[in-house]
Structure 1
Amino acid sequence: MGSPVSARLIETVAFVTGGGRGLGAGIATALAEAGASVVVAARTLPQVEETVQAITRAGGRAIGVRCDVTVRDSVAAAYAEAKAAFGMPDLLVNNAGVQGPLGPVGLVDTQAWWDTQAVHVLGALHCISTALPDMIERGHGRILNIASQAGTFVAPFASAYAVAKASLIRLTEHLDFEQKAAGVRAFAIQPGTIMTAMAQETLKSPEAHAFAKPLVALLESTTAEESAQGMARLCRFVVALAAGEHDAMAGRYLDIEKDIPDAATGSQPS
Structure 2
Amino acid sequence: MSHARRTAGAAIDDASAQGRRALVIYLPVGYPDVDTSIEAARTAVAAGADIIELGLPYSDPGMDGPLVAAAAQQALDGGVRIADVMRAVEEVAATGAAVLVMTYYNPVLRYGVERFAREIAEAGGAGLITPDLIPDEAGEWIAAADAHGLDKVFLVAPSSTSERLELTAHASRGFVYAASTMGVTGVRAAIGAHAEALVSRTRAAGAERVCVGIGVSDAQQAAEVAGYADGVIVGSAAVRALGSAAGAEGLDALRTLVEDLADGVRQGTVAS
Q: Structures share a fold, TM > 0.5?
A: no
Rg comparison, structure with higher value = 1
Q: TM-score, normalised by structure 1?
A: 0.36
